Chain A
Amino acid sequence: MRIQVNARNRAFQFEAAAGEKILYAGLRAQAGLPYECATGTCGTCKAKLISGELDDGWPQAPGRKYLKAEGEFLMCQSEARTDASIEVASFVYPMDTGACRADALAGTVRSVRALTHDVSAVGVDLEAPCEFDAGQFMAIKAPGVQGMRGYSMVNWDQPARRLEFVVKRKPGGGFSEWLFSGAAAGARVEMFGPLGKATFYPALQKNLLCIAGGSGVAGMMSILSRACREGHFDRHDGYLFFGVRTMRDAFFLEELSALRHDRLAITIALSDEDVPEGAAAGYPDLTFARGLVHEVAKREMAGRYQNVRAYLAGPPPAVDAAIRVLLLEAKLTGDAIRYDKFS
């Protein structure tokens, strides 16, 4: 099917296969269409049908609440049944030629490893290697679950033959229920990606500030992994603030300790309990503090915002609180703050 997208500044044409989501077809063709979650929740990829026929793959997608006018639809959920013309009311540019190209890919779940009582690390072996930027995510389809879900890669390899994700158990959440049911190991999963703009690359000559709540630390692991491997902290400072409720909810502490570097400060913020005795002794390379993660970051970062690029991830209220701190206290501008709202 031939898809034509009329954007504010120009038009794009690309082919979409039968059953392929319009957003994915466009991204595959390097059209920088607007999206954020790419999985039906955020509403960012809304567009308007001008001509042609579409099928909506997930009529109950939460992001449909952002649709107002007649003919509006979510590009990430809709497939073309015929050639179609659509309108996107924003400026759309061809994607950066250096950007990793998003495409459909598949893999096999090789391992599900419990990190805490309700968080697991999931390893997927890819059928073909793929390239992604540190901080990006994949839209993943679980068998029998409607729609896809976004999960950030924990690892960073170029190219990667295996992807690692962090999944938090959510009662009633189709994807995590499937994963924690035990049926996942050995299963084949389909994915689309890499996706997301909260990326780190070494040419970025900036100090890094990462603020993550819970499983949001996944993408930060990828960013810090690449930054450490490429010597970024020989020339720049790094700060990670990782918020969890209690020590029982913390994970990746060994992995974070292994990143040890003079110019990388890692702080674990505990919101619901005082720092237990022995935490600091158990992990001498990490700092522990009591408080909500954005408050701990605000306290520790005062006066240290020069030349900072901030990355945020986690539950939306935690990300919003961190954005407020960075805009109002730190006076950072929007271009210095990166996050993808896909949880």
Chain B
Amino acid sequence: MARKLICRTSEVPANGLKECEGDGVRLLVANSGNEYFAVQAQCPHQDVPLCEGIYDGSVLVCHQHLWQWDIRTGAAMGIAEMPLQRYDVTVEGDAIYVGSQGAIDVGELFNGIGAGTLQALVQLARREEFAAGSVIYKLGDPAEDFFVLESGRVEFQIGRDERVNPAGFILRKGEVFGWAALLENHPQRIASAKALEASALLRVNGKQALKLLESDPAAGFLVMRRLSGLIARFLAAAGAR
């Protein structure tokens, strides 16, 4: 979405929420003191409208299952399993403008790291398009790159030949897969990845990304913490009762 006038500051209650629409995309504008933030309008859990949620000016809670997010960063808090997709906001006078963020910036792994490192990471990324049904990588392929989903849908399969089983899928902008490329001693793909729909991906070389993160340890620490959370989410048994 290109930068677009989405609403007026007077339309957003103090420390409150307003659902708006721009270019057919619904989003939620939140006031927090003197600042405004914009996030996706529906809960990533089950598409419940977040404008009906509970909001105190800093933490947004979906009233349905109590997923929580930091409105400033979109980061998941408490029992939330996914971050909120954020939009860039600029305020001029009483006009609130909103524009899309890039998939890497939105993404669960890199959201919130310093602007310089983020920019360098974006420079490393190569945009690729995959037609519906095409294979992105196969089991056993070298795991050199990881991918960030920009649009579309990717499905994973484990096993070989006729003993193939689905092993999950991703469909949200900013979701990261192929993260073996960021791990030591995982030189090969442990699953196959296929574009289920026409999909746009950002391909990033794992070694180059790690080198970049080494030069910015704060960003590196955040990314590794997020990555371990991501891996745990795929491996975990039922969450703590």
B238 touches A328 (CB 8 A): no
Task: Answer whether residue A337 sits at the interface, using C-beta atoms and an 8 A cutoff.
Answer: yes
Task: Answer whether residue A54 sits at the interface, using C-beta atoms and an 8 A cutoff.
Answer: no
B54 touches A7 (CB 8 A): no
Chain A: interface residue total (CB-CB under 8 A): 36
B169 touches A8 (CB 8 A): yes
A6 touches B169 (CB 8 A): yes
Task: Answer whether residue A304 sits at the interface, using C-beta atoms and an 8 A cutoff.
Answer: no
Q: What is the interface of chain A mostly: helix, strand, loop, or mixed? A: loop
Chain A 257-310 interface residues, beta-carbon cutoff 8 Å to B = none
Q: Whole-angstrom distance from the CB of A65 to the nearest CB of chain B?
A: 13
Q: Could you tell me the distance between the alpha carbons of A7 and B47 in the complex, rounded to whole angstroms?
A: 16
B68 touches A334 (CB 8 A): yes
A9 touches B78 (CB 8 A): no
Partner of A91, one of B54, B61, B66, B81: B81
Chain B: interface residue total (CB-CB under 8 A): 32
Q: Could you tell me the distance between the alpha carbons of A334 and B54 in the complex, rounded to whole angstroms?
A: 12
Partner of B168, one of A6, A46, A323, A335: A6
Q: Could you tell me the distance between the alpha carbons of A327 and B238 in the complex, rounded to whole angstroms?
A: 24
Tell whether A334 pairs with B233 under 8 Å between CB atoms, given A10-B168, A99-B238.
no
Which A residues are in CB contact (< 8 Å) with B54? 323-324, 327-328
Task: Answer whether residue B5 sits at the interface, using C-beta atoms and an 8 A cutoff.
Answer: no
Task: Answer whether residue B120 sits at the interface, using C-beta atoms and an 8 A cutoff.
Answer: no
Q: Whole-angstrom distance from the CB of B20 to the nearest CB of chain A?
A: 21
B237 touches A8 (CB 8 A): no
Question: Which residue of chain B lies nearest to A11 when distances are taken between CB atoms in the complex?
Answer: B166
Tell whether A333 pairs with B168 under 8 Å between CB atoms, given A9-B234, A93-B236, A327-B61.
no
Q: Could you tell me the distance between the alpha carbons of A199 and B193 in the complex, rounded to whole angstroms?
A: 39
- Please give the residue numbers on chain A whose beta carbons come within 8 Å of chain B beta carbons, in ascending order: 4, 6-11, 32, 34, 43-44, 46, 66, 68, 87, 89-91, 93-96, 99, 197, 199, 201, 204, 320, 323-324, 327-328, 333-335, 337
Q: Give 14 A-B pairs besides A8-B170, A9-B168, A335-B79 with Cβ atoms closer than 8 angstroms.
A: A8-B169, A9-B234, A10-B166, A10-B167, A10-B168, A34-B46, A44-B65, A89-B171, A91-B233, A95-B238, A96-B238, A204-B241, A334-B67, A337-B66
- 11 A-B pairs with CB atoms under 8 Å apart are A6-B166, A11-B168, A32-B238, A66-B46, A93-B237, A197-B241, A204-B241, A327-B54, A327-B56, A334-B66, A334-B79
